[in-house]
Structures are given as C-alpha cells and as structure tokens.
Amino acid sequence: MSDRNLAALVMAGGLGTRMESETPKHLHPLLGRRMLDWVLDAVLVLEPARVVVVVSPGTREAIDASVPDGVETAVQAEPKGTGDAVAAGRETLAGFDGDVLVVSGDTPLITPNELDALVRRHREERAGATVLALQTDRPLPYGRLVRDDEGKLRRVVEAGDATPEQLALTELNASIYAFAAPELWRALEGLDASNAQGELYLTDTIGRLAEADRPIAVQHASDPAVAVGVNTRAELAQAGAVLRDRINEAHMLAGVTIVDPQSTWIEPDVRLEPDSTVHPFTVLRGGTSIARGAEIGPHAVVVDSAIGRDALVGPFCYVRPGTVLEAGAKAGTFVEIKNSHVGEGAKVPHLSYIGDADVGPGTNIAAGNITANLPLKPGLPKSRTTIGRNVRTGIHNGFIAPVTVGDDAWVAAGSIITKDVPSEALAVARSRQVNKEGYAGRDGDD
C-alpha cells in the first residue's frame, strides 16, 4: 500500500566528472542496471506516494524514457550544489506537505531496510529533519556531524570546509535525509554559496533548523558501506563487488551451489532453482532462468535464456538471448547458441554455432556445425533452421536456412545442407574425393 505521507526525491543531476566519462555518473552500468536504477529500486520498496528524480538537462531524456511508471523528473538547470538540486524538485512536489525522503543517486548500495529505518526514526522523533549517519574511522571525504555539549546535532560541516578538529570526528553524513516538507522548503530559502565549493549545500539546512530549535534526529546506518557514494570507476567496481556478493549469498542460502562466488557474476533478475550449480568464471545476465540440477560453466555466459532441469552449459560456452535448453540438454565447449530451442536431451557438445534454430529432442549435433540464417533479402527477418528429433549430424555441417531436417535423419560429414532432408534419410552434400597421384613431385610447369 502506498505511503501517502511520503515522497522521495533522488538527486541525480551531477555529471560526475571524476568518472572521466562522457556517460553521466548516475547512468553508468552496474551489474545489469544503471547506478540510478539500484537507488530507485530501494526507494520504490517503501512505496512513496511521489518519487521525483532531479536530473541535469543533458540526462532528462534518457532518464524520462527509462524510469519506472509513476516516477517523475525535475531539471536542475545548473549544477549549483545539493541544496539547489533539492530546490529544483520543490515545484514538482508543490502542495505535498508530508515527509520527504532525500536520497543521493550515487549510493547504489543503499537498501530498503536502511531507508525504512530512517523514515521510522524520523516519524518516531517527530523531527523536522533526520540525518542518516555513518560511524566510521575511515577518513572519507564526507561531511561531519557537529554536536553541542548536550549531544544535540547542531550542523553538518562539509569536509572541504571543516577544521582539523572537525575532520577528526567519526560521525559522518551519508547525504541521505528525511525532512518534514514544510521545514525543508523553509530551510532551503536563502541558502548561500559562501563556502569552499561555492555551492548551495543541502547540509546547511540542518544548521538552519537547529538555529530555529526544530527537532533534528540522527539514524546510524547498520553498515557504513550501504550509504557510501560512487564518484570514480574504482568505486564503481567496488560497489559492483558488494552487489555481486549480496546476490550470490542470497542464491547460496536458497540452495544454489556457487563454487567460487568471487568469480561468479549473477545479475539481479536471474532466477536459479535449488540444486543448480554455477561453476567459476560464469556470468548470468538479464532474465535468465536456471532450473534444478542444471550445471553452468566454468567460463560460461548466459543471457536472457532458459536452462532446463539437469541441462549442462559449458565450459567456455555462450548462450545468447532467446535460447531455451530443455531438460537434460547440453551446450558444450566452445559452443554459441542464439535465439534457439534445443529439445530435451539434445546435445551440442563442442565447437558449433546454433542460431535461430529449433533442435528436436535427442538430437546430437557434431563438432563444427553452423546454422547460417541471414535473410534472403535485406530487411527481411532471419530464416530458421529446423532439425528434428533424434537427428545425427556429422562434423563440419552447415545448414543454410530456411531448411528442415526430418526426424531420425543423418547428415554426412562435411555436408552443406541447402534443401530439406526427409525423415530417416541420409543427406550427403559434398563433392566426391579425388586423389591425384604424384602431385607433390610434379614440375612447376605441369
């Protein structure tokens, strides 16, 4: 049920120049999703009544086209700081007077539990603002929480403006907040940029609320890592490793064997049934599903495909989108399969490419087979190859689509099949061998 008294505002307007990339920071891919998508996924679990993403003019089109239904965008015309970013979302949230959850779009490790705990603390304390804090001795370049002698939070000082004494503080700002909307809008008015960065700091709203004797609460993150921001490609890789470990642990606790979790990358939408096994250096992507008893890898890549019960994939195998391997099927070493249906118990053991094809149950595809499926004319869809039940192909066969090989047929080695093969027939499509005696000893003029 939607929380009608909660809105979320995600700050994603910065360009992230430290990424050294033409791609804006928040749109960098991270284990199958963009960095921003991970943040939105966490926010949407709370079911806020409104979700607004603050974007830059250059990223609005890309974000508008790809955010979940119901998520709105607001444009920060110029990068004037976090305070200006939140102010850019104010007009979109005009008339909303509940609680506003403010989240940085570069914190892909944030979890729904941490956000929920922050909102709960904010409401329990009936606070004007609640700050998510990190308790850590690491010298991170984050703002420091400055308290008075009674332990009350008085302000948040950005690292670039902090004194050596303030930098020694171990209570750090995670740049994630909950505000009462009226308090937030009032505190944003009149922010100035008289600071080291020359920006409008959202953190300055905390000091202004404290000066007005408004209640301010602090919620400590259960794990400091969850709110760490990503500003460089090195930090992007570190975040990816954390997400990988979370995903792999969840699968292992659910009954999946992952032989070497650190070398196995499984994207979040992949589904694995208990008693499936994933061997080292395997990548599972997109909407792939792996059934019970299947073994994947080592060194296998499976994308948007369905792998049936007790099927075998790999080693050194690439299963591309649209592929279905039925129960007991095999895609073996140096095999590539794309947009194909491989029937129950069928085998493609080694060194073959099967694309846009239907392979019947029990069929064995020998080494070096290729289905060639370019369209007959430009602009037409690719043609399909149909290989029936219990077919036995030979080594180095080519199938020029559209073509059908009937059930229980055989194909001789080295044959290029361009015409349909009847059931139970032997297809031979190659030139007769001719041996020229004494060829090696001939004179060059012969």
Residues 211 and 316 in one domain: no
Asked whether residue 121 is domain-assigned, the answer is: yes
Please list, in sequence order, all residues whose beta carbon lies within 8 angstroms of the beta carbon of residue 330, skipping any fewer than 6 positions away.
Answer: 311, 312, 313, 346, 347, 348, 349
Residue 395, Cβ neighbours under 10 Å: how many?
A: 15
Q: Which domain holds residue 205?
A: 3-227
Asked whether residue 437 is domain-assigned, the answer is: no
Residues 308 and 172 in one domain: no
State the pLDDT at residue 376. 67
pLDDT digits (tens, 9 = 90+) for 2-47: 899 999 999 998 777 888 988 888 999 999 999 999 999 999 999 9
Packing angle between helix 181-188 and helix 204-211, nearest 10 degrees? 100
Which residue matches tokens 């609640």? 130
Residues 76 and 37 in one domain: yes
Asked whether residue 155 is domain-assigned, the answer is: yes
Give yes or no for a cis peptide into 268 (omega within 30° of 0): no
Residues 264 and 159 in one domain: no
Q: In angstroms, rounded to a whole number, what is the distance separating the alpha carbons of residues 410 and 147?
A: 82
Q: In angstroms, rounded to a whole number, what is the distance separating the alpha carbons of residues 108 and 242?
A: 10
State the pLDDT at residue 373. 85
Residues 222 and 264 in one domain: no
pLDDT over 70 percentage in the chain: 99
Instruction: Work out the average pLDDT over 80-102.
Output: 93
- CATH number, domain of 130, equals 3.90.550.10
Give me the number of domains the chain comprises.
2
- CATH number, domain of 403, equals 2.160.10.10
Residues 71 and 199 in one domain: yes
State the pLDDT at residue 446. 52
Q: In angstroms, rounded to a whole number, what is the distance separating the alpha carbons of residues 148 and 155?
A: 9
Annotated catalytic residue within 122, 220, 350, 396: 350
Give yes or no for a cis peptide into 315 (omega within 30° of 0): yes
Residue 178, Cβ neighbours under 10 Å: how many?
A: 28
Residue type, position 304, single letter: D
Asked whether residue 234 is domain-assigned, the answer is: no
Asked whether residue 144 is domain-assigned, the answer is: yes
Residues 298 and 346 in one domain: yes
pLDDT digits (tens, 9 = 90+) for 155-172: 999 998 999 999 999 999
Which ranges of 73-149 does DSSP label H, i.e. alpha helix? 82-88, 112-124
Residue 120 has pLDDT above 70, yes or no: yes
Residues 220 and 281 in one domain: no
Distances (CA, A) of 303 to 201, 260, 282, 335: 43, 20, 11, 14
Is 299 one of the catalytic residues?
Answer: no
What is the pLDDT of the chain when averaged over all its residues?
94
State the pLDDT at residue 394. 97
Residues 202 and 266 in one domain: no
Residue 147 has pLDDT above 90, yes or no: yes
Asked whether residue 157 is domain-assigned, the answer is: yes
pLDDT digits (tens, 9 = 90+) for 296-335: 999 999 999 999 999 999 999 999 999 999 999 999 999 9
Residue 344 has pLDDT above 70, yes or no: yes
Asked whether residue 356 is domain-assigned, the answer is: yes
Strand, coil or helix: 166 = helix
State the pLDDT at residue 444. 59
Residues 116 and 205 in one domain: yes
State the pLDDT at residue 224. 86
State the pLDDT at residue 381. 80
Q: pTM value?
A: 0.91
Instruction: Work out the average pLDDT over 223-236.
Output: 90
Please list, in sequence order, all residues whose beta carbon lies within 8 angstroms of the beta carbon of residue 408, skipping any fewer than 6 positions away.
Answer: 388, 389, 390, 391, 423, 424
Instruction: Work out the average pLDDT over 60-70.
Output: 88
Residues 277 and 130 in one domain: no
Residues 411 and 274 in one domain: yes
Residue 265 has pLDDT above 80, yes or no: yes
pLDDT digits (tens, 9 = 90+) for 353-363: 999 999 999 99
State the pLDDT at residue 167. 92
- Specify the higher pLDDT residue, 270 or 378: 270
The 8 Å CB, 24+ separation contacts for 51-55 are 51/7, 51/8, 51/10, 52/7, 52/8, 52/9, 52/10, 52/89, 52/92, 52/93, 53/10, 53/12, 53/105, 54/9, 54/10, 54/11, 54/12, 54/13, 54/85, 54/86, 54/88, 54/89, 55/12, 55/13
Asked whether residue 245 is domain-assigned, the answer is: no
